[in-house]
Structure 1
Amino acid sequence: MNLQQLQYLSVLAQTENYTKAAKILHITQPTLSYAINNLEEQIGIQLFEKHGRSIKLTQNGKSFAAESAQALEILNQAIERARNINSTDKTIKIASLRTLNTLWLPNTIKDFLEKRSSGSIEPYFDFGSGTGFSLQMTQLLREEKFDICFCSKIDDKDDIDYFPVVEQKLVLITPFDHPLANKKSIDLTETLKYNQITFSSNSGLYFELERLFSICGGTPKSIYKVEEDESVAGMVAAGFGIAVVPKMRMLDRMAVKIIPIRFPKWHRFIYMATLKKHYQNAVTQEFIDFVHQFKGINDV
């Protein structure tokens, strides 16, 4: 059994089609068939069985393919680390929500640099440009364009490790002359009949509020969909409607009434997201470890 056989198995297990797998691997179908048959003989397990014109993993095959995929990932990471032992790469590629860029992220980087021992490699932080939305960031993280993203949790796929670093309370904001403006606190079911400014699907808050309002058994009456929370607040201040937004310092300077949410109880979390299979150079891993150790959840 060798590394190449495990790589072939990984692709064939995903496609369950020799023709497609051979095309992905850039080899001939007979070469792939020979490698898999040889692997089955070596381990004494039937990995695949015919299922009409296609193939399916056997139960034993499913177990072996899943565990060998984990082993393959570990081996690939070991190879990458060995190749980079003497590497001088010191770049940490980061993307972050704009709400963290003013204070939290600069202070975190400053604290990290101050705690590092003198004489160690000075890291270079490469800040992603053109992104400020969680959906875009996680897509680019999966494409390995970034090492670390500070963003909302977009989905529950297990390829990304999410570590909570910031907690934000959500509030309802209304114009001062709105019928709900005199409320001391609000049950969000009371808001469903009013026009609302909501977040577009580019924003991580879109997914957060979708889950939040599902608890209320309804959907906001959205008249505008906006990407950034500052813009949402501006639309509310101009009298276009009401909105649920993170509690931000800037709200105190705007012509809006800030109302605590009584139901549902909900806090928004912002996470440090890292791709599990992505190789991290030494300084990037050092920064990740620092965040894990010293930068737990804090209110923005």
Structure 2
Amino acid sequence: MNLYHLRYFVTLAKLEHYTKAAELLAITQPSLSHAISSLEKELGVKLFEKEGRNVVLTKCGQAFLEDVTKSLDILDSSINKLQMTGTGEGRIDIAQLRAVSSLIVPKLVRGFLDEHSDKHIDFRFHNSTGLTMDMIQGLKDRRYDVAFCSYVEQEPTIEFIPIAKQELVLIVPEGHPLESRDSIDLKETLQYPQVGFSTRSGLHRVIKKLFEKCGGHPEVVCSVEEDEAVAGLVGAGFGVAVVPRMPILDYMPVKPIQIAKPSWERNFYMATLKNVYQAPAIQAFKTYVAEHADL
């Protein structure tokens, strides 16, 4: 079905006069008549009928006009959005870990928007499980343009750009024997029950490697997926835990203790798909983040 014929149909339906419609469309009247006839032949119904010197829609034409108008409005809106995207405007869909959602990512987005104040760029922040693997799958499914997450090995289609570091600390509940300590060798914690991260969490592997350096593994009394949930269980007295140094720890009934040995820092990354087309606004944001990474 010819798109121009649909636009001709809508114009004629509004003006109800072939000569006026042809003039407005800047085509000849025979060309307009041929277009409408072709459309009616393809549909198998009459769209117009004569009424004096004018034409009016048939019942079929009225129903068709309503659907065609909606379809053209959607198409024109989409075309407009894509044209805006091509000029460096548009929407950027972001997934993020909670650990970077309060300070790191908002600072990057605010700086980028200030630098591109002449462009209309809309950031959409998506709720997720907070797990890096789910964010990576979201990138592959094209639900997200950018993910701020942990590094994942054996993901050849994903580009990881380091953007920030976060210290890992030991947290203990109030009244715990280690509460008076300001720093600790992680080996000293092996005797205490611990709250761990589930195997789906990127931190599970990180913490496992830390304890391998200590020459042993603690008793893990329970495992959960998110940082804040781990801290909540520690505050409730289930055990101690190794977690990222998060601002929320200052408001929970736990004591953060610096880990003197073994040394380790958690890195955060900006993850995007490799070798796929990305709109100019996304490319500009990636460049900005890479240049302003807090490392």
Output the amino acid matched with 1:151.
C
Gaps of 5+ in 2: 1-82
Residue by residue, what CA displacement relative to the aligned partner does 1:88-136 show, whole Å, maximum 9, x if unpaired?
Answer: 8722121001222223222221111111162xx4122222233321121
Report if the CA contact (8 A) 1:174-1:241 is conserved: yes
1:214 corresponds to: 212
The alpha-carbon deviation at position 84 of structure 1 amounts to: 11
What is the number of equivalent residue pairs in this alignment? Answer: 213
The alpha-carbon deviation at position 252 of structure 1 amounts to: 2.0
1:128-143 pair list within 5 angstroms: 128-143=126-141
Moved over 3 A (4+): 83-89
Q: Secondary structure at the match of 1:108?
A: helix
| Higher CA-based Rg | 2
Q: Given the superposition, is the C-alpha separation of residues 85 and 126 from structure 1 closer, same or farther in structure 2, using an over 3 Å criterion?
A: closer
Output the amino acid matched with 2:161.
F
Separation in structure 1 between the aligned mates of residue 218 and residue 153 of structure 2, nearest angstrom: 21
> Please, which of 279, 282, 298 is the counterpart of residue 280 of structure 2?
282
Output the amino acid matched with 2:166.
Q
Residue by residue, what CA displacement relative to the aligned partner does 1:151-207 show, whole Å, maximum 9, x if unpaired?
Answer: 011224333221121211111111232232333321112212211001112322222
Gaps of 5+ in 1: 1-82
Report if the CA contact (8 A) 2:161-2:270 is conserved: yes
Q: Given the superposition, is the C-alpha separation of residues 152 and 219 from structure 1 closer, same or farther in structure 2, using an over 3 Å criterion?
A: same
Give the share of equivalent positions with the same residue, in percent.
Answer: 43
Q: Secondary structure at the match of 2:167?
A: strand
Separation in structure 1 between the aligned mates of residue 189 and residue 214 of structure 2, nearest angstrom: 10
Separation in structure 1 between the aligned mates of residue 127 and residue 172 of structure 2, nearest angstrom: 33
Separation in structure 1 between the aligned mates of residue 176 and residue 162 of structure 2, nearest angstrom: 35
Query: What is the TM-score normalised by the length of structure 2?
Result: 0.66
1:37 corresponds to: none
Separation in structure 1 between the aligned mates of residue 139 and residue 106 of structure 2, nearest angstrom: 21
1:25-174 pair list within 5 angstroms: 86=86, 90-116=90-116, 118=118, 121-174=119-172
Separation in structure 2 between the aligned mates of residue 172 and residue 156 of structure 1, nearest angstrom: 29
1:198 corresponds to: 196
Residue by residue, what CA displacement relative to the aligned partner does 1:231-256 show, whole Å, maximum 9, x if unpaired?
Answer: 21111111110000111222222222
Compute the RMSD of aligned alpha carbons.
Answer: 2.3
2:60 corresponds to: none
Query: What is the TM-score normalised by the length of structure 1?
Result: 0.65
Q: Given the superposition, is the C-alpha separation of residues 161 and 188 from structure 1 closer, same or farther in structure 2, using an over 3 Å criterion?
A: same
2:180 corresponds to: 182
